[in-house]
Structure formats: C-alpha cells, structure tokens
Amino acid sequence: MRRLIVQKSGQFVIIAVLMIALMIISIAPLLHRTVTYYKHEPWEEYLALIGSIELNSERLVTLSLANYTQTLNQDILTENLEKWQIDTMKIYSGHGISLTYEAAYLNHSWKKQQSLSVANVTFILDIESIGLEGYKFTVVELLNLTIIAIDESNILVSVKDENKAPVTDLEVGNFKVIDADTNSTIGLEQVISDYDEKEQLIYRLVCNCTVPTSVIVEVWSPENIHAIAKYSL
C-alpha cells in the first residue's frame, strides 16, 4: 500500500482512465435518449384524460354545492353524481371508464358567527383500456364566512375556501346584509378588501346606515355557493 502511494509513475494512467470513464458517462444519457425517443409511453396520453375527469368531477361537486345552498335540496349531489357516472361512460365510450363514488357528504352550518357550506366526495376511477383500477381521489368544496367584527357602519368579514385561502374578487353584488331583528335589508355602499395579519384578506362591508346589534350577512362566492352568517353583540 505504501509502495502504491509513493509511486508516481502510474498517476497519468489513472487520470486517463478516469477521463475516459467520464466521457462514457457523458455519452450514456445521449445514447439512452436516442434509443428511447420513439418508445411508446401509453400513460402519457392518458394523464390529461384522468386529469380532465378529476377536474370535471370537482366542478360537478362545486355546482352541486352551489345548487344545494340555493335550494337546500339534499339529493342534488347524489343525483348529479349518478348522472355523471353514466355520462362519463357515454362521453368516453371505448375507454372502458367506470367512475363511482364511495362517500358523498353535503351540509351547511349557517346563521352562526362562523358559518360554512361544505361538500365532500370520494371518487373511484377505473380505466380498462390502460389497466387503471381503483384510482381514488377526494374532492372537498367549502365556503366559510366569518363575521369578525362590527364597527358603526362597517362589518368586517372573512370568506375562505376549503384550503383556508381567502376567496378573492368579491364585490357589493356578492354580499347581502340583513337586520336580524326586523328582517329588513341594509343597503351596502361599497365593499373594501383589506389585508389582515391573521386572516390574510378581509372584506369591509360599508353600510349606508349604522349597523344594528344583531345582523345577518349572506355571501355568494364566484361559483355561486351561498353561506349565511349571523352576529349579535
């Protein structure tokens, strides 16, 4: 070993071998790419198909929740899910698609300081043509409306989605304020969005009169999901 370390005459050969090894390693990815260029990857063309079914199933849950919060028809989600189950087979006939669901939940908790409307569905997707079986994905749709505080003619509210992210771009048309005692509508002059450290984004609802001690705020999200919150001093 000592002899090997002390000897200097073979160093050049070692460097040469290392450099040749480096070159072989550099060429390897090029060769691999060339060999596999036309290799057929059947998964790639189906990724967008799976994505589209997921996306539209998510949209189905959203519009079912929107419909439920408008009509309080508890069956709307299962009705839509059953129709979508049949129609996906019709739309993608030839792919052997089977979309089922194992749990569907639809509920609301309104007229509280912190109110919410929620839908939750777990889907199971099979695509026979690519051997996909039992692919599960869960869709949760939620609208959370919280009345934070009342200050003279202003009402501070936060509106959040299922990811606890604030719902943006809400305007006067998205809100309604009602006097809880008289049940009369209070006019809204403007809706101002403010930054809040805790809530990230809050909406300041500026009313055209002093806000009563007991007030109801209604919100419609851009997807038309409805929630109603109540605040009493």
Partner 1 sequence: MALERVFLKATCGQMRVIEVILASLVIVFALSFANLFAVTPTSPKYEVTELEKLGYNVLYDLDKQGLLPRFVYSEDWSNLKAALRISLPIDVYFNLTVYDLNRTQINDTPIFYGDASAFENSKNVASVTYGLVGHDSYNPRILVLQLVRG
Residue 10 binding partner 1, by CB under 8 A: yes
Q: 99 or 148: whose CB is closer to partner 1?
A: 99
Rounded to a whole number of angstroms, the minimum distance from the CB of residue 203 to partner 1 is 23
Structure-block tokens of residue 122? 């777990």
Residue 173 binding partner 1, by CB under 8 A: no
Judged by CB under 8 A, the number of residues near partner 1 is 41
Q: For residues 201 and 184, what is the distance between their CA atoms, to the nearest angstrom?
A: 28
Rounded to a whole number of angstroms, the minimum distance from the CB of residue 162 to partner 1 is 17
Residue 60 binding partner 1, by CB under 8 A: yes
Q: Work out which of 21, 27, 165, 172 binds partner 1, going by CB under 8 A.
A: 27
Residue 23 binding partner 1, by CB under 8 A: yes
User: Looking up tokens 């009705």, which residue turns up?
Assistant: 79
Q: 16 or 172: whose CB is closer to partner 1?
A: 16
Q: 7 or 163: whose CB is closer to partner 1?
A: 7
Structure-block tokens of residue 76? 């709307």
DSSP3 helix / strand / coil % (the chain, rounded to 5) = 35, 40, 25
> Could you tell me which residues are beta bridge partners of residue 158?
146
Q: 84 or 231: whose CB is closer to partner 1?
A: 84
CA 168 to chain centre: 14
Residue 163 binding partner 1, by CB under 8 A: no
∠ CA(37), CA(38), CA(42), 5° rounding? 115
Rounded to a whole number of angstroms, the minimum distance from the CB of residue 145 to partner 1 is 21
For residue 202, the number of C-alpha atoms closer than 13 Å in the C-beta half-sphere is 17
φ, ψ at 131 (rounded to 5°): 70, 25
Buried-exposed string 79-105: b where 16+ CB fall within 10 A, e elsewhere: ebbeebbeebeeebeebebebebeebe
Site string for partner 1, 83-122 (x = CB under 8 A): xx--xx-xxx------------------------------
Interface contacts to partner 1, rule CB under 8 A: 7, 9-10, 12-13, 16, 19-20, 23, 26-27, 30, 33, 37-38, 40, 44-45, 48-49, 51-53, 55-57, 59-60, 63-64, 66-67, 80, 83-84, 87-88, 90-92, 224
